[in-house]
Amino acid sequence: MSTATAVIEEQGTANDLGYHSFSAGQYRFERDEYFAHIYYPGGRHLMHVEAFLRALMRDVGWGFFYGTVNFDDVLGTLNHYGTVDLFVGLLNQAYKSRNRHYVETFNSKDLKKVFEAMLDDWTNEGFDPYAAPDETGNAYGPKRGNNSKALKRERIVAKRMVGLPGDLDIRTDAAGQPVNRQFLDVPQDQPEVHAEPGFEGEVHAFNMFAYTSRSDVTWNPSVVSNVKDSQICATTEEHMLPIFHGNDRVEWFIQICDEIIWDIEDGKTGRPRAKVVMRAGDVAAMPADIRHKGYSPKRSILIVWENNDGTLPQRYSSGQLKPYPVEF
Residue with Cβ nearer Fe ion (169 or 309):
309
The pair phi, psi for residue 223, each rounded to 5°, is -80, 105
Q: Segment contacting Fe ion (CB under 5 A): 115-123, 194-202, 243-251, 306-314? A: 243-251
Cα distance between residue 137 and residue 127, in whole Å: 5
> Does 171 engage in binding with Fe ion (CB under 5 A)?
no
Is residue 248 within 8 Å of 314, Cβ to Cβ? no
Say which DSSP state 289 is in. Answer: T
> Whose CB is nearest to Fe ion?
245
Shortest Cβ 67–Fe ion spacing (Å): 8
Torsion of CA 245, 250, 256, 257, to 10 degrees: 40
Go through 230-251 and write b for each residue having 16 or more CB atoms within 10 A of its CB, e for each that does not.
Answer: ebbbbbbbbbbbbbbbbbbbbb
Is residue 204 within 8 Å of 193, Cβ to Cβ? yes
Shortest Cβ 237–Fe ion spacing (Å): 11
Cα distance between residue 188 and residue 214, in whole Å: 10
Binding residues with Fe ion: total (CB under 5 A): 1
Cα distance between residue 208 and residue 112, in whole Å: 31
Shortest Cβ 64–Fe ion spacing (Å): 13
Residue with Cβ nearer Fe ion (245 or 249):
245
Residue with Cβ nearer Fe ion (143 or 245):
245
Residue with Cβ nearer Fe ion (132 or 243):
243
Handedness of CA 128, 129, 132, 133 (dihedral sign): positive
Cα distance between residue 83 and residue 81, in whole Å: 6
Residue with Cβ nearer Fe ion (25 or 246):
246
Residue with Cβ nearer Fe ion (20 or 245):
245
Shortest Cβ 251–Fe ion spacing (Å): 5
Shortest Cβ 66–Fe ion spacing (Å): 7
Cα distance between residue 96 and residue 227, in whole Å: 40
Residue with Cβ nearer Fe ion (90 or 264):
264
- Which of 58, 245, 291, 299 binds Fe ion (CB under 5 A)? It is 245
Q: Segment contacting Fe ion (CB under 5 A): 68-76, 114-122, 245-253, 273-281? A: 245-253
Q: Segment contacting Fe ion (CB under 5 A): 83-91, 108-116, 149-157, 239-247? A: 239-247
Shortest Cβ 261–Fe ion spacing (Å): 15
Task: Show the site string, 190-229: x = touches Fe ion by CB under 5 A, - = not.
Answer: ----------------------------------------
Please provide the DSSP assignment of 86-151 as one string: EEESTT-HHHHHTT--EEEEEEHHHHHHHHHHHHHHHPPTT--TTS-GGGS----SS-----HHHH
Question: Which residues within the stretch 142-161 sit at the binding site for Fe ion (CB under 5 A)?
Answer: none
Residue with Cβ nearer Fe ion (214 or 245):
245
β-partners of residue 326 are none
Question: Which residues within the stretch 76-105 sit at the binding site for Fe ion (CB under 5 A)?
Answer: none
What's 198-251 look like in SS3? CCHHHCCCCCHHHHHHCCCCCCCCEEEEEECCEEEEEEEEEEECCCEEECCCCE
Residue with Cβ nearer Fe ion (85 or 251):
251
Residues that bind Fe ion (CB under 5 A): 245
